[in-house]
Amino acid sequence: MPPRDRKSTPRLGFRVAMANLVTAAAALLMASALLIAFQLVSLRASLLEDLRVKARIVGDNLAAAVMFGDRGAAAETLGSLQASPSIVAAAVFDPEGRTVATYSHRGDEPLVVPGPEFAAQDHRFTWHTLDLVQPVEHGGKVIGMVRVRASQDGLYSRLFAYAGTTVLIAAGALAVAFLLVSRMRRAVLRAEARLDYLAYIDPVTNLPNRHAFNERLAYALERADRLGERVALLLLDLDNFKIVNDTLGHHRGDALLAAATHRLSEGLRRGDGLCRIGGDEFAFVMEGPGACDEAELVARKTLAALAAPFSVDGHDIYITASVGIACYPNDAADLQTLTRNADTAMYAAKDRGKNAYVRFHSDMDQRARRRLTVETQLRKALERDEFVVHYQPVYDYRNTRIVGVEALVRWQHPEQGLIPPGDFIAVAEDSGLIVPVGRRVLALACRQARAWQTAGFGPLYVSVNLSARQLQENDFARETIAVLLEAGLSPRLLELEITESVLMENTQAQTLLDELQAAGVRLAIDDFGTGYSSMSYLKRLPIDKLKIDRSFVRDIPADRDDTAITTAIIAMAHGLGLSVVAEGVETRDQAEFLRVHGCDLMQGYFFSHPLPAGELGELLLRHASPLAPVA
Ligand code: C2E
Ligand code: MG
Ligand code: MG
């Protein structure tokens, strides 16, 4: 993985939490200190107030004793202060400053006459005591002075109790805050980890996702630059995953993906990073000096790992993959080009019939550019109406009668002559131009079939090939019926050919096909045996005919596998009530073998090559009465 510093995040988080806590503690401490200081001030104020009241009462009570110089009465009055334990000493003086009487609670030294320190205010605080001076008056005249001393010990013990409680409450609040903060932090960390997981991991397979893949690849390239090493990128696309998903449901599709992931990762070294970068697309990033040399071995292992069937919910599922390999820096100088080239190679593997791996080659780039030129020329060809249709007859071998024709498009290029469909159909499909081209072929074929019918060649059906893109057109059924009407051809005489894989990959086309069948149009599966039809699906579709792919016909009757497959397809088709056409029949032996096994409809060079309409008309004329086939 790229160096995402997962460890430093919690440490940093811890420090931030601690810093917050210390700040909170400092704030609480300061608040407590202020509260305690305030409490000290207010306790002292009330002590002073209390002392002042008591001093005034004692002063009033002493007035008579002072006036008459009655020391005994004065001492007795002062002695009444015993009832106030906070007052530790007191003394009363005459106007000349002589002591009249004293009082001491704990036997302290007697108080002396107040000095100049009491000139500004009537009281004075020391650390332990509070002294207050109160004049003794009689009839508005000062006749003496009483000095009272209170101890602050009681005040301090109350202050300590207050401070203790405050600190306890603050500490409790801090502890609760700490608990809440750490609990919240844990929750946030968990949420972060989950988000991190979702942002980088695909939940179905638990593999790094496309986002993680991009980071990882960028990191691998950077490392390769630094160390002078290489990086191999393998892009793997499951060939028929969509069919599984559509026919068995998404949850089984997911289960299959997980099972495939398990097998893929088992065969890899730990360092080879496997990622899921799309629905059925995976990527391996291989690093190290030998990465590019080992890439093909890994690709082979990968294909082998998928070979055995997967068992999902009791269904045995076979899947294959196409793998494209590109190497850094040999095939590409940057990440985007590397990915694009691996993709190009992967599509080349698909073009080679899937279940294969292809290493990127610079020719592929040129091929891509050539495709672009062909596309531009195709557009012009449409404008100039350069497409023509050739017709290959379909024979009923029992009586060598032509029962129908297959319409096969050709491009009449002004300079390059007649171009076969194999050279331009793929580009037309990729660019979407197949839609107008197909429309043109359908119109020409229907008109031609109607012309032969008018010429008296009997009810000859015409078969037209369809591409996936045409099936995706919304009003394809309506358009087809309009073409038939315009040509004046019965829908019964039109057959549409769809390859097995197109049919399986466009399961949503069923409604459209039902609509066409309801109108009377027939439907054939082309190149049957090369795709991956599911039997249940075949039964559901409105199909009339199977066309056995010519790759099976080529080696019959010599090849045992092919003879077995061919006879099995014929038996299965008849079992489903479908008719069968064998394609690519080139020899009498093939034709005989097929006839013996119940396949009566045949098409191939043994009977006739595809011909321009005019030549086919002549052939039809010769076959108006039963004749030997033209080989
Ligand atoms: P396909 O539909 O399977 O057509 C049969 C192909 O086999 C034709 O090639 C035909 O010329 C060839 N063929 C017939 N008999 C024999 C034989 O005995 N031996 C051998 N080796 N080949 C034989 P063609 O005309 O080159 O067409 C190739 C493919 O192009 C067609 O395969 C079809 O898939 C596609 N195609 C042709 N016309 C159209 C069209 O109008 N629209 C679309 N979408 N595809 C078309
Ligand atoms: Mg065909
Ligand atoms: Mg075919």
Q: Quick one: residue 530, left, alpha or beta (phi over 0 = left, psi -120 to 50 = alpha)? A: alpha
Nearest protein Cα to ligand 1, atom 8: 408
pLDDT of amino acid 362: 85
- From residue 78, alpha-carbon distances to 23, 40, 104, 495 in Å are 54, 29, 9, 133
Ligand 1 site: residues with CB under 6 angstroms? 392, 408-409, 420-422, 425, 434, 438, 441, 465-467, 497, 526-527, 550, 583-586, 603-605, 610
| Cα 392 to averaged position of ligand 1 atoms, centre (Å) | 9
| Cα 568 to averaged position of ligand 2 atoms, centre (Å) | 21
Q: Which ligand is nearest to the CA of 610?
A: 1
pLDDT of amino acid 7: 43
Q: Which ligand is nearest to the CA of 467?
A: 1
Pocket test of ligand 1: the residue of 395, 465, 526 to mutate, having most ligand atoms within 8 Å of its CB, is 465
Please state the atom number of ligand 1 nearest to the C-alpha of residue 497.
2
DSSP SS3 for 424: coil
Residue pair 9/222 in contact (Cβ under 8 Å)? The answer is no
| Cα 223 to averaged position of ligand 2 atoms, centre (Å) | 51
Please state the atom number of ligand 1 nearest to the C-alpha of residue 434.
44
pLDDT of amino acid 313: 86
Q: Which ligand is nearest to the CA of 548?
A: 3
| Cα 547 to averaged position of ligand 3 atoms, centre (Å) | 7
Could you read off the pLDDT of 324-368 as tens digits, one per residue?
999 999 999 999 999 999 999 998 898 887 789 999 998 887 777
| Cα 369 to averaged position of ligand 3 atoms, centre (Å) | 28
pTM summary value: 0.56
Q: List the chain residues with pLDDT less than 70.
A: 1-13, 269-272, 531-537, 624-631
H runs (alpha helix) in 506-599: 510-518, 535-540, 550-553, 560-575, 588-596
Please state the atom number of ligand 1 nearest to the C-alpha of residue 408.
38
| Cα 153 to averaged position of ligand 2 atoms, centre (Å) | 113
Phi, psi values for residue 29, rounded to 5°: -60, -45
As residues whose CB is below 5 A from the ion ligand 2, the structure lists: 465, 497, 526
Integer Cα distance of 327 and 307 in angstroms: 26
pLDDT of amino acid 220: 94
Could you read off the pLDDT of 617-626 as tens digits, one per residue?
999 888 754 4
Integer Cα distance of 192 and 184 in angstroms: 12
Nearest protein Cα to ligand 1, atom 7: 584
| Cα 355 to averaged position of ligand 3 atoms, centre (Å) | 21
Measuring CA to CA, which residue among 119, 11, 138 is closest to residue 69? 138
| Cα 508 to averaged position of ligand 2 atoms, centre (Å) | 22
Nearest protein Cα to ligand 1, atom 41: 409
| Cα 360 to averaged position of ligand 1 atoms, centre (Å) | 29
| Cα 491 to averaged position of ligand 2 atoms, centre (Å) | 18
Nearest protein Cα to ligand 1, atom 27: 421
Please state the atom number of ligand 1 nearest to the C-alpha of residue 467.
44
Nearest protein Cα to ligand 1, atom 33: 465
Q: Which two tokens stand for residue 393?
A: 């007859």
Bridge partners (DSSP) of residue 274 are 284
3-state secondary structure 212-270: HHHHHHHHHHHHHHHHCCEEEEEEEEECCHHHHHHHHCHHHHHHHHHHHHHHHHHCCCC
Residue pair 444/389 in contact (Cβ under 8 Å)? The answer is yes
pLDDT of amino acid 536: 66
* Residue 88 half-sphere exposure toward CB, CA atoms < 13 A: 16
Integer Cα distance of 582 and 567 in angstroms: 11
| Cα 544 to averaged position of ligand 2 atoms, centre (Å) | 14
pLDDT of amino acid 626: 41
Please state the atom number of ligand 1 nearest to the C-alpha of residue 527.
3
List the end-to-end C-alpha distance of the chain, in Å, as a whole number: 65
pLDDT of amino acid 3: 40
Q: Which ligand is nearest to the CA of 425?
A: 1
Output Rg (C-alpha) for the chain, integer angstroms: 52
Phi, psi values for residue 409, rounded to 5°: -80, 150
Please state the atom number of ligand 1 nearest to the C-alpha of residue 603.
15
